[in-house]
Structure 1
Amino acid sequence: MARRWGRRLYKLLAGLVLPLVLLAAWQILGDRGLISTLLFPTPAAIFNNALGLYDTGELTDNLRISLVRMLSGFGLGASCGFAFGLAVGLSRYVERSLDPTIQMIRMVPHLALTTLFVLWFGIGETAKVLLIAKGAFFPLYINTYLAIRNVDGKYFEVARVLGFSGKKRLYRLVVPAIMPGVFLGIRLSVAVSWLGLVVAEIMGSTSGIGYMMMDARAMSMTATVFVGIFLFAILGKTSDSLVLALERRVLRWRDSFGGR
């Protein structure tokens, strides 16, 4: 147990070395006047600004709203992406019927749909959640579909010989075999959801971290903009680490190369 926690602590500290070195260099350059503190406030100034926003409640209120939007959009888009990926991956007929249309929609940029969503749904929560869901849908859809098609066909032959029903074949064969690909899709969907959240809150919002950053930009409050940037980076990394930890727990039976 102690050895395992020691390895985890080592990995954490190793991952913090480069960010801490960059922040220290940034602070030193700012204190010595070698960079413009108007355009690049020092990390200390950004941290103090974040404390001020926290004390007023502005940071926590906007963070709560952004988290609800992101989780709602991710939940909707990821669940639909997984369901459609299963259907298209398991059936050639469904693939020929749906995949060309889905791939065509995938090529439409987020910003191109922003105006359309505003016209359809206004600037309320519906448009923002759907925009995030659109981004979260495709990574999980594609990875689920490809994971199914990459399953060795011999497994299906064995399942057929053993007399597995369609439902049993799905739960005993398909789902365990595609889980590595599904988790990769989840990680990509989470990342795209954060990007979609920024676009959604910039397109016309009165709350959220993205709105806070846009409002700060209009007022030339650069430190607040950096607070939003760092917050998105921390949230993105934290959510990715949570998915990765869940993947390791669910797929602990997998014997894969972990690097040297």
Structure 2
Amino acid sequence: MNKTLQTQILPWVLPLLLLVTWQVIASVELVSSSLFPPPTTVLSSFWSLVTTGVLFTHMQISLYRAFLGLLIGGMIGLVLGILNGWSKVSFFTFDTSIQMVRNIPHLALLPLAIVWLGIGETSKIFLVALGVMFPIYINTLHGIRGIDPGYVEMGKMYGLRGWQLFRHIYLPGALPSIFVGFRYALGVMWLTLIVAETIATSDGLGYLAMNARQFMQTEVIIVTVIIYAFLGKLADVIAQAGEQKALRWHPNYRK
């Protein structure tokens, strides 16, 4: 199969097919337009939100919450994963407690987060950080612990110790697993943010969708869903680009 066809055309076939199907269903009114508005109505609503500045205001707030939570939770998960993968003492001290907390659905903590931290930014960022921490922690831990002991011994034979051993042996070997955890955490980040922004808030994309629901503005709800999908895809593309660059030495990531 032609490489251009495979990489640049095929990924758009299904979205375009869904768009055409959507337009046909809306045009023949198989479903009420108030429940399932046509793409043209959604596009008009999107343009209205853009020109009034409403969409960018709410999007900016959502992005702030998402990426601050990702930064905090990601750093905690990465550090704990490295420590527990590197040190048996740290692993036996912290891992059991971390796994107990991990098995609590973090979204179930939303009422408690509101009681503890209020309805401001802190509770939402806390939930996002908690959600993204565990995928990164688990994958970092298994990436570090999954290093071939032969590579470690070879590194020691070349005089590598401490930080140098970690930098040249453990970290490169664990990076593929760390990136898997990071990409999975991005999905958890958006899921958590959607739920957090639909409860006890007055701004953000989730609030925009809930406010539209009260006024039966289905097209606005669809706009927010598409924006979430676009932001999720964009974040994953950026993560993939970082993965390709960081792992360009790996045979499976060479172009």
TM bucket, shorter chain? over 0.9
Whether 1:34 and 2:34 are equivalent positions in the alignment is no
What is residue 3 of structure 1 aligned with on the other side?
none
Equivalenced residue count is 253
User: What pairs with 1:128-139 in structure 2 (closer than 5 Å)?
Assistant: 128-139=124-135
> Is the deviation greater in 31-40 or in 97-106?
31-40
TM-score relative to the length of structure 2:
0.95
TM-score relative to the length of structure 1:
0.93
What is residue 190 of structure 1 aligned with on the other side?
186
Whether 1:255 and 2:214 are equivalent positions in the alignment is no
Whether 1:120 and 2:120 are equivalent positions in the alignment is no
* Percent identity (aligned): 37
State the distance in 2 between where 1:147 and 1:44 align. 47
What is residue 56 of structure 2 aligned with on the other side?
60
Cα deviation for residue 13 of structure 1 reads 2.2
What is residue 234 of structure 1 aligned with on the other side?
230
CA RMSD of aligned residues (A): 1.6
What is residue 65 of structure 2 aligned with on the other side?
69
User: What pairs with 1:37-116 in structure 2 (closer than 5 Å)?
Assistant: 37-116=33-112
Deviations 1:30-52 (A, max 9, x none): 11112221211111111111111
State the distance in 2 between where 1:13 and 1:210 align. 32
Q: Which runs of 5+ in 1 are unaligned?
A: 1-5
Question: Per the alignment, in what secondary structure is the counterpart of residue 256 of structure 1?
Answer: helix
What is residue 178 of structure 1 aligned with on the other side?
174
Contact 2:107 2:192 in 1 (8 A): no
State the distance in 2 between where 1:129 and 1:8 align. 41
What is residue 225 of structure 1 aligned with on the other side?
221
Cα deviation for residue 8 of structure 1 reads 6.0
State the distance in 2 between where 1:160 and 1:30 align. 66
Question: Per the alignment, in what secondary structure is the counterpart of residue 252 of structure 2?
Answer: coil
Counterpart residue identity of residue 22, structure 1: L
Question: Per the alignment, in what secondary structure is the counterpart of residue 36 of structure 2?
Answer: coil
Moved over 3 A (4+): 6-10
Counterpart residue identity of residue 206, structure 2: G
State the distance in 2 between where 1:228 and 1:190 align. 18
Question: Per the alignment, in what secondary structure is the counterpart of residue 30 of structure 2?
Answer: coil
Cα deviation for residue 12 of structure 1 reads 2.9
Cα deviation for residue 163 of structure 1 reads 2.5
Cα deviation for residue 65 of structure 1 reads 0.5
Taking a change above 3 Å as real, the CA distance of residues 257 and 207 of structure 1, as seen in their structure-2 partners, is closer
Question: Per the alignment, in what secondary structure is the counterpart of residue 31 of structure 2?
Answer: coil
